[in-house]
A and B are shown apart, each in its own frame.
With several copies, the nearest count.
Chain A
Amino acid sequence: MYSKTVMDHFKKPRNVGEIEKADGIGQIGNPVCGDMMTIYLDIEDDVIKDIKFQTFGCGAAIAVSSMLTELAKGKTLEEAKKITNKDVAKALDGLPKNKLHCSNLGADALHAAIKNYEDRKAGKVMPDDNQEDKHEHDHDEKCYCPYCDAELGDGQTFCKSCSLSEEEPA
């Protein structure tokens, strides 16, 4: 099901943990979705000196987090902003179709953390404000309902026909 690279990053995730006084924090996903990811950045001269993550999620989500931190480490913010979800999936030698959704969390969380750093610098947010949960889809990388593989539109996390309840119980 998973590529060797995915399994390697799942079994030995790189850069796990929290950075005590992080310069930027990005959090994305929620348990409803099944995945939650927090990215911590330590930034010096607009370069990502250190990056750590915490993830609640499936094997793919953990591997994506790990790979993402590897890709971002040492990069300038401008470079890091260009990392896409597709890059992460590619670096992992691909992900199963119904996991592409999860993989989309990775770059989103990184970008959220960078934005958090920039917003703090601009005085827009207090250091411990949490970033909003946002889950947009790239237009080049389609996103699929984790339930039925139907293609999802922007912002959707499940396709409509897979909504849970049949009818209000009597």
Chain B
Amino acid sequence: MGYYNLDHINFKHLVPEASQAMIDAIKAEYGNPSSQHQKGDEAREVLEKSRETMARLINAKDPREIVFTSCGTESVNMAVKGLAWARQDKGKHIVTCNTEHNAVIRSLRRLKQLGFQVTSVPVDKYGVVNPQTVKRAIRESTILVSIMHANNEIGTLHPIGEIAAVCREAGVAYHCDAVDSVGTLPIDVEGLGIDLLSFASNPFYGPKGVGALYIRRGIGLWNLLDGGAQENRKRAGTENLVGIVGMAAAAEVAMRDMEKRIEHYKSLRRHFLAELPKYLEDYLINGHPEQCLPNHISLSVRHVEGESIVLMLDEQGFAVSTRSACASGSLRASHVLLSTGLSFADAQGTLVISFGVDTTTQIIDKFLAALEESVKTLRAISPLYAAAQKEKAGK
């Protein structure tokens, strides 16, 4: 039986260029970029070249504005906590929105335990934040706004340029968690005026467990990892050079293929949404119809629970997920879906389907057939479906 990945938000394979670069790096036995001798020089060069690639990927002015980290989560923690501590004398208030990833939510919760205040602004039914709401939430004591780019559950894109402008005007630092958009969509930190941007390697087919943080020149952070002088003294610790090299190789491919990939994703998404009604009724598509990740669909199947659909599809050879895995372990209804106004039951019945470069319309058609089957089976067991049918019949 074939096994098809429609869960690219959680798992992407490595592009061949990245895996080759990593294997080469393993075999090259690079030295320690911090050491004073030849072996160190070579490693330093590879590291700095990778940093330049990252700068190009997001249009940072200076490679030194890039710090490599061990994952998107570390980037987010470093940005949010590091800025809060560095500016705590100026104020202790932070603005965020209701649909952030746990990395942001829990970093902020931690800061609350240390005496910071957080205001979380609502989103509309598409999951979009209104920049004017952000503006109104900013107080005298606000030091930071943290609002993501692409939402990892519903794919919705926030108007980050406008949010950055609001922050700039108010003299507040702006952090953007762009883990799910960098490498997929063009991002221009200079043009948009973003101060801090978190991203990771795996979303653009690079290795897992490698990330980076953009820190605009002049923005001071307290280090999250204190110790040695690595990463321009912004992040101590021996570098994961193998991973960094893989991230850079994947970024090169991402830049080269970005347009082509986006076109491909868009056509798959159109196909999926056009075909879906032939297989399923009583469903909802979440997120913004246009301002969204091109390779992402959030589908609420009414009257059944999401995990059971995932499990049944898994048995039939299709990987999808109920929500982004990094948040999984949670069985609760998604805070993101509830924030857009979904009912608890509908939120519980939500699948995240995400396409990759290898996905085809044929795979989607097979998937839709399997989905139809699974939902039919599960609805037959569901008391909610039975009740809804009775109600319908009663009418």
- The answer to whether A and B touch directly, with their CB atoms under 8 angstroms apart, is yes
Interface size grouping (class) on chain A: 35 or more
Question: Which residues of B are found within 8 Å of A16, using beta-carbon distances?
Answer: 380-381
Q: Are A55 and B348 in contact (CB under 8 A)?
A: no
Q: Assess whether A132 is interfacial by the CB under 8 Å rule.
A: no
Q: Are A56 and B382 in contact (CB under 8 A)?
A: yes
Looking at the assembled complex, report how far the CB atom of B314 sits from the nearest CB atom of chain A, in whole angstroms: 10
Do A62 and B344 form a contact, CB below 8 Å, given A166-B118, A170-B119? no
Q: Are A166 and B109 in touch, CB under 8 angstroms?
A: yes
A98 near B333: Cβ-Cβ < 8 Å: no
Contact indicator A148/B233 (Cβ below 8 Å)? yes
The residue of chain B having its C-beta at the shortest distance from the C-beta of A148 within the complex is B233
Interfacial residues of chain B within 102-123, with CB under 8 A of chain A in the complex: 105, 108-109, 112, 117-122
How many chain B residues touch A (CB < 8 A): the figure is: 48
User: Are B109 and A56 in contact (CB-based, < 8 A)?
Assistant: no
New A-B pairs, 4, CB < 8 Å, besides A10-B312, A147-B330, A170-B137: A31-B344, A34-B332, A166-B108, A169-B120
Q: Check A24 for interface membership: any CB of B closer than 8 A.
A: no
Could you tell me the distance between the alpha carbons of A35 and B343 in the complex, rounded to whole angstroms?
Answer: 14
Smallest CB gap from A16: residue in B? B381
Are B383 and A54 in contact, CB atoms less than 8 angstroms apart?
yes
Q: Which of B343, B381, B385 has the most CB of A within 10 A?
A: B381
Interface residues of A in 46-64 (CB under 8 A from B): 53-59, 61-62
Q: Does B92 contact A (CB under 8 A)?
A: no
The distance in angstroms between the C-alpha atoms of A62 and B95, with both chains bound, is 41
Binds A, one of B150-158, B303-311, B357-365: B303-311
- Flag whether B124 is at the interface (Cβ < 8 A): no
A62 touches B381 (CB 8 A): yes
CB pair B348–A31 under 8 Å, yes or no, is: yes
Contact assessment for A54 and B381 in the assembled complex, using a CB-CB cutoff below 8 Å: yes
Docked-complex contact B311 and A34, CB < 8 angstroms:
no
Report chain A residues within 8 Å CB of B41: 1
- Residues of chain B within 8 A (CB-CB) of A53 are 381
| Distance, CA A35 to CA B344, complexed state (A) | 11
